[in-house]
Amino acid sequence: MTSLRVGSRGSILALTQTRLVVARLIELNPGLTVQEVIIKTEGDQTTTPLSEAKNPGVFVSALRDALLAGEVDFVVHSMKDLPAKPYPGIVTAAVPEREDSSDVLISRSGLDLMSLPVGSWVGTSSPRRAASIRRLRPDLRIDSIRGNIDSRLKKVESGEYDATLLALAGLKRVNRESVVTEHLDSKSFVPAPGQGALSIECRDKEPELFGAIAKLDHPISRLVALAERSVLVGLNASCATAIGASGELRGDRLILVAELSIESTGESIAVSNEVVLGSNKLLDAENLGLLVAEQLLESPIAAKAALQ
């Protein structure tokens, strides 16, 4: 195996992430060459808010279809874009070391969230972020915003929006961290499950390819992200679900905090639980996420939230 094809979306962020993965993959597998294959996804071609998308995984399905069709050998995703449940025929070969999972605010005036004037327009397509804003600043106006990092920043610079919220990880990867006005507290803005992590997928039953990619795996990042994303599975969450989950490993204790909110009002319920990891750490992480989801479902908030 000396030559591979990698599937990627064509956005600046997607290509940057893919190229970071490819560079490291070649470093760990000397003599390997990797060809980029740009794939257009439904999410790249629609202006519909992601929370209203009829099909889950609008940034993911076309990449996975190309992978299963043999058009590419592996694909690189932002983990937070992935639907909650596993996909038949595809396996996560590696979760590289995770970047910072937090959210940040970018405002035209340079003011932080609590200092924005009453009635300021904030652009976000995330039900989770919208709910947190409504809880903290119900006097602000929220509108859906789409586009890549640069186009969203331009909409703020032009005055179309007074501020927007983005994942810090993406800004750091494309060297745009300097635009950040405020780093948002993860207790007030619990990050999306898997935010800041990448998922490298390949077809199952290809042990040589899996082995080459698996050299990129960061076990702690995989473990924590699995716990967070298992909350999504337990909730049967969709793109319209305002859900955040953040895990932390302290010694042999895995601690998980999850928050379920109602996008339209900002009402929320937060649950925290932990597990002492045993011999099967991944199973323990998965079960912790499912347990936290079960606890969230017992709340009256669950009946009002967007769960399907």
C-alpha distances in Å from residue 265, one per residue of 127, 137, 141, 233, 261: 11, 11, 12, 24, 8
What is the token pair recorded at 169?
A: 């990880």
**61 Cβ neighbours under 8 A, 6+ residues apart:** 41, 42, 55
Q: Which has the closest alpha carbon to 257: 239, 169, 268, 266?
A: 268
Distance CA 239, CA 104 (A): 20
Catalytic position from the list 81, 103, 162, 284: 81
**283 Cβ neighbours under 8 A, 6+ residues apart:** none
Q: In this structure, how many other beta carbons lie within 10 angstroms of the beta carbon of residue 281?
A: 18
C-alpha distances in Å from residue 261, one per residue of 44, 50, 112, 129, 269: 27, 17, 22, 10, 6
Q: Residue 108 has what DSSP assignment? A: S
Q: Residue 147 has what DSSP assignment? A: S
Phi, psi of 292 (to 5 degrees): -65, -40
Distance CA 238, CA 260 (A): 12
Query: Is 162 assigned a catalytic role?
Result: no
The enclosing H or E element of 17 equals: helix 12-28
Task: Classify the phi-psi angles of 194: left when phi > 0, otherwise alpha if psi is within -120 to 50, otherwise beta.
Answer: left
- Catalytic residues, which ones? 81
